[in-house]
Amino acid sequence: MEFLTMCMLAAGFGMAIGAFGTGIGQGLAVKSAVEGVSRNPGASGKILTTMMIGLAMIESLAIYVLVVCLIILFANPYKDVAIKIAETVAK
């Protein structure tokens, strides 16, 4: 398999796993916040604030995964070396 193809697959799988994990994490956070508000409506302000901070932390994980995937695709330091090796092998 070509190096660039492997990079594309790695970025795709990485983003899929990262999005899956953050989606589950955010869903559980919102579920717990809604349950907390339903049990104690008076604490909704504190619960909402804490939930928003938690969601921002969870979302930062997805952003980190996106950055790593973009680095794999576009700023890979081994890309030029792999292309040169592939060209010499093809000759």
- The structural domains of the chain, with segments of one domain joined by +, span 3-90
The fold of the 3-90 domain, in CATH, is F1FO ATP Synthase (1.20.20)
Q: What token pair was written down for 6? A: 């492997």
Give Cβ neighbours of residue 40 (< 8 Å, ≥ 6 apart). 47
**Structure letter (DSSP) for residue 77:** T
Residuewise pLDDT in 10s, the chain (91 residues): 677 788 888 888 999 999 999 999 999 999 999 999 999 999 999 999 999 999 999 999 999 999 998 888 888 777 777 778 878 887 7
| Claim: this prediction has a pTM higher than 0.85 | no
Cα dihedral: 34, 40, 46, 51 (round 10)? -20
Q: Which of 42, 45, 48, 17 is nearest to 30 (CA)?
A: 48
